[in-house]
Chain A
Amino acid sequence: MNSPAIYGGRKPADPDPVVTFDGVRVGFDEGDVLRGVSFRVLPRETLVFLGETGTGKTLTLKLAAGLLHPSMGRVRVLDHEVSVMAERELLEFRRQIGFVFQEGALFDSMTVADNVAYRLREDRVDEDEIDRRVREILAFVELDHVLYQLPSELSGGMRRRVSIARALVNRPQIVLYDSPTAGLDPITAQTIITLILRLRDTYGVTALLATHRLQDGFALANFRFDPKAKRVVREAPAAMQPGAGGSEPVTRFLVYREGRIYFEGSPEEIATTRDAYLKRFLV
Chain B
Amino acid sequence: MVLVLTDAFKSFLAHIQDYSLMAARSVANLATGPRYFQDVLDQMDDIGVGSLPIVLMSGFFIGAVMVLQTGSQFVRFGQTALTGDIVSLALVRELGPTLTGILVAGRSASGIASELGSMLVTEQVDAMRAMGTDPSRKLVTPRVVAGILMLPLLTALNDFVGLLGGCVASVFSLRLGAVEFWTRAINALDFPDLMQGMMKPLVYGFILATVGCYQGLNVRGGTQGVGRATTQAVVVSNVMIIAADVFLTKIALYLGDKLF
A and B co-occur in one complex: yes
Q: Is the CB of B132 within 8 A of A94?
A: yes
Q: Report chain B residues within 8 Å CB of A102.
A: 123
Count chain A residues whose beta carbon lies closer than 8 angstroms to a beta carbon of B.
Answer: 23
Within 8 A of A (CB), among B79-133: 119, 122-124, 126-127, 129-133
Closest B residue by C-beta to A68: B126
The answer to whether B7 has its CB under 8 Å from any CB of chain A is no
Q: Is the CB of B133 within 8 A of A103?
A: no
Q: Report chain B residues within 8 Å CB of A94.
A: 129-132
The answer to whether B134 has its CB under 8 Å from any CB of chain A is yes
Given contacts A87-B134, A91-B134, contact A108 B122 (CB under 8 A): yes
Closest B residue by C-beta to A176: B130
Q: Report chain B residues within 8 Å CB of A118.
A: 131
Given contacts A105-B122, A108-B122, contact A99 B132 (CB under 8 A): no
The answer to whether A213 has its CB under 8 Å from any CB of chain B is no
Q: Is the CB of B123 within 8 A of A105?
A: yes
* A-B contacts, CB under 8 A, total: 50
Q: Is the CB of B134 within 8 A of A65?
A: no
Q: Report chain A residues within 8 Å CB of B123.
A: 101-103, 105
Q: Report chain A residues within 8 Å CB of B119.
A: 107
Provide the bound-state CA to CA distance between A107 and B132, in Å: 15
Provide the bound-state CA to CA distance between A122 and B39, in Å: 13
Q: Mark A55-66, 1 if CB is under 8 A from B, else 0.
A: 000000010010
Q: Is the CB of B127 within 8 A of A107?
A: yes
> B34 to nearest A CB, angstroms?
8
Closest B residue by C-beta to A61: B130
Provide the bound-state CA to CA distance between A218 and B92, in Å: 72
Q: Report chain A residues within 8 Å CB of B131.
A: 94-95, 99, 118-119, 122, 166
The answer to whether A92 has its CB under 8 Å from any CB of chain B is yes
Provide the bound-state CA to CA distance between A112 and B112, in Å: 23
Q: Is the CB of B132 within 8 A of A119?
A: yes
Provide the bound-state CA to CA distance between A166 and B129, in Å: 14
> A68 to nearest B CB, angstroms?
10
Q: Report chain B residues within 8 Å CB of A87.
A: 134
Q: Report chain A residues within 8 Å CB of B134.
A: 87-88, 91
Within 8 A of B (CB), among A29-70: 62, 65, 67
Partner of A67, one of B122, B124, B126: B126
Partner of B127, one of A88, A91, A95, A99: A99
Closest B residue by C-beta to A96: B132
Provide the bound-state CA to CA distance between A16 and B126, in Å: 29
Provide the bound-state CA to CA distance between A97 and B130, in Å: 8
What are 15 A-B interface contacts by the 8 Å CB criterion? A91-B134, A92-B132, A94-B129, A94-B130, A94-B131, A94-B132, A95-B132, A99-B131, A101-B127, A101-B130, A105-B127, A107-B119, A119-B132, A122-B131, A166-B131
Apart from A67-B130, A105-B123, A106-B124, list 11 A-B contacts with CB within 8 A: A62-B126, A67-B126, A67-B129, A87-B134, A95-B132, A97-B130, A103-B123, A105-B122, A119-B131, A122-B131, A122-B132
